[in-house]
Amino acid sequence: MKHLASPREFYRITGHCLPWLWALFAVAFVFGIVDGLWWAPGDYQQGHGYRIMFVHVPAAMLSLGVYCLMASSALIFLVWKIKLADVIAAVSAPIGAMFTGLALLTGSLWGKPMWGTWWIWDARLTSELILLFIYFGVIGLRSAIPDQDRASKATSILLLVGIIDLPIIHYSVYWWNTLHQQSTLLKMGAPSISPSMLYPLLAMIIAFGAYFGALLLMSARNELLKRERHSQWVSQILN
């Protein structure tokens, strides 16, 4: 683990991983889009309007998944002082905010024909919006503190406090009477969704995950070069 946490080794290993992540994204995305938009049948209730879920669901899942990664990295940084963990948390915030914003946008586009409104202060929607504000708060707090070490500690604490919103988002459809449907994928037992819709959805989830992984590694590598610019290994790479 210490070997992998070395900035130099991380930079070297991730350089080999990036092409595979982009290849996985391309294959899964093409299959998911073609299958989801053309081959999958229309829904018996929602018609073809449900197809936006092939973007909405992966974005919503990643909005939570990225935050879990950030909170885990923050804990590792606070406890073990591993600087690479702070790099992961720092570069993940804008990406997580992007996925959260995309989830809210596609949710509104899906909600208009289904619910008759672009927005309602539903428990799931409101808690997801709060998550977006937490992302913005993490980004803003890190930018507002000039000292990098203090900024890292402050944002790590905020990340750990903000994680309380994640179970609220996930269980809001079970705890309260909401317009948002309950989960058909992440639940006990088999997913309650037709295989003809499930397979392209899983492909899009894989595609979005690979896309996040590629963006994360690229951003982390750039951030490492910035933070380690005075080290010998960076000088060797740049020269």
Amino acid at 194: S
Q: Residue range 55-75: average pLDDT?
A: 97
Q: Residue range 166-180: average pLDDT?
A: 88
Please say if the pLDDT value at position 187 is more than 80: no
Could you tell me if 90 and 26 are in contact, meaning their C-beta atoms sit under 8 angstroms apart? Answer: no
What does the alpha-carbon distance between residue 147 and residue 238 come to, in Å, rounded to a whole number?
26
CB atoms < 10 A from the CB of 76, how many?
A: 18
Show the tokens assigned to 214: 């590629």
Question: How confident is residue 224, by pLDDT bands cut at 50, 70 and 90?
Answer: very high
Q: CB-based contacts of 71: which residues, under 8 Å, 6+ apart? A: 159, 160, 162, 163
CB atoms < 10 A from the CB of 55, how many?
A: 20
For position 191, what pLDDT does the model report?
A: 62
pLDDT, the chain, mean: 92
For position 129, what pLDDT does the model report?
A: 98
Angle at 36 between CA 34 and CA 42, to 5 degrees: 130
- Closest by Cα among 75, 97, 100 to 85: 75
What does the alpha-carbon distance between residue 180 and residue 40 come to, in Å, rounded to a whole number?
23
Q: Looking at the DSSP assignment, which residues form a beta bridge with residue 47?
A: 43
Question: How confident is residue 114, by pLDDT bands cut at 50, 70 and 90?
Answer: confident
What does the alpha-carbon distance between residue 179 and residue 153 come to, in Å, rounded to a whole number?
38
Q: Which of 27-31, 38-42, 130-134 has the lowest mean pLDDT?
A: 38-42
Please say if the pLDDT value at position 138 is more than 80: yes
For position 115, what pLDDT does the model report?
A: 86
For position 29, what pLDDT does the model report?
A: 98
Please say if the pLDDT value at position 173 is more than 90: no
For position 48, what pLDDT does the model report?
A: 79
Q: Residue range 56-73: average pLDDT?
A: 97
Question: How confident is residue 190, by pLDDT bands cut at 50, 70 and 90?
Answer: low
Amino acid at 116: G
- pTM for the full predicted model: 0.94
- Domains located in the chain, CATH noted: 7-238 (1.20.120)
* 123: region left, alpha or beta (phi > 0 left; psi from -120 to 50 alpha): alpha
11-23 CB burial, b ≥16 within 10 A, e <16 = beebeeeeeebee
Please say if the pLDDT value at position 198 is more than 60: yes
Please say if the pLDDT value at position 77 is more than 60: yes
